[in-house]
Amino acid sequence: MIQPNILVVGSMNMDLNIYGVPKIAQFGQSVGCDSYAYATGGKGANQAYAAAVQGANVTMVGRVGNDSNGHALITELEKVGIHTGFVVPDKDAQTGLATIMVEDTGRYFSYVTLGANNKLDPEDVEKALDKISFDMVLMQLEMPLETVYRTYELAKERNIPVFLDAGPAMNIPLDRLKGIHIISPNEAETEALTGIAVESEKEALEAAKQLYERANPAYVVLKMGSRGVYVYDGKAAKMYPAWKVDAIDSTGAGDTFNASFVNKICQGYDFDDAIQFATAAAAICVSRKGAQVSIPSQDEVQQFLTKQLCK
Residues recognised as catalytic: 255
**Which residue of 7, 8, 9, 13 would you call a contact of ligand RIB, by CB under 6 A?**
13
Note whether 46 binds ligand RIB by CB under 6 A.
yes
Note whether 98 binds ligand RIB by CB under 6 A.
yes
Q: With 0-12 CB in 10 A as exposed, 13-18 as middle and 19+ as buried, what is 5?
A: middle
CB 203 within 8 A of CB 211: no
CA end-to-end distance (rounded Å), the chain: 28
**Which residue of 42, 55, 161, 296 would you call a contact of ligand RIB, by CB under 6 A?**
42
Rounded-to-integer distance, Cα 195 and Cα 229, Å: 19
Nearer to ligand RIB by Cβ, of 12 and 305: the residue is 12
Rounded-to-integer distance, Cα 253 and Cα 223, Å: 10
**Which residue of 112, 148, 205, 284 would you call a contact of ligand RIB, by CB under 6 A?**
112
Candidates 42-50, 54-62, 278-286, 301-309; binding stretch for ligand RIB (CB under 6 A): 42-50
CB 164 within 8 A of CB 177: yes
Rounded-to-integer distance, Cα 51 and Cα 77, Å: 11
Nearer to ligand RIB by Cβ, of 11 and 57: the residue is 11
In the bound complex, what is the minimum distance in angstroms from residue 86's beta carbon to ligand RIB?
A: 19
- Edge-to-edge strands, sheet with 229-232: 83-90, 57-65, 5-9, 136-139, 162-165, 182-184, 219-223, 229-232, 237-240
In the bound complex, what is the minimum distance in angstroms from residue 147's beta carbon to ligand RIB?
A: 16
Nearer to ligand RIB by Cβ, of 172 and 237: the residue is 172
Residues near ligand RIB (CB under 6 A), total = 15
Note whether 64 binds ligand RIB by CB under 6 A.
no
Give residues 197-256 in contact with ligand RIB (rule: CB under 6 A): 251-252, 254-255
Nearer to ligand RIB by Cβ, of 267 and 294: the residue is 294
Q: Side chain identity at 122, as an amino acid letter?
A: P
Nearer to ligand RIB by Cβ, of 114 and 205: the residue is 114
Nearest to 117 by CA among 76, 75, 89: 89
Q: How far is the CA of 43 from the CAs of 68, 150, 244, in angstroms? A: 19, 19, 24
Note whether 291 binds ligand RIB by CB under 6 A.
yes
Strand 108-113 vs strand 96-102: parallel, antiparallel, or unpaired?
Answer: antiparallel
Q: SS3 letters for 241-287?
A: CCCCCCCCCCCCHHHHHHHHHHHHHHCCCCHHHHHHHHHHHHHHHHC
Which residue is nearest to ligand RIB, using beta carbons? 41
In the bound complex, what is the minimum distance in angstroms from residue 252's beta carbon to ligand RIB?
A: 5
Neighbours of 187 (CB within 10 A): 18
Note whether 281 binds ligand RIB by CB under 6 A.
no
Nearer to ligand RIB by Cβ, of 98 and 280: the residue is 98
In the bound complex, what is the minimum distance in angstroms from residue 294's beta carbon to ligand RIB?
A: 10
In the bound complex, what is the minimum distance in angstroms from residue 52's beta carbon to ligand RIB?
A: 16
- Between 141 and 180, how does the x/- string for binding to ligand RIB read (CB under 6 A)? -x--------------------------------------
Q: Footprint of ligand RIB on this chain (CB under 6 A)?
A: 11, 13, 15, 41-43, 46, 98, 112, 142, 251-252, 254-255, 291
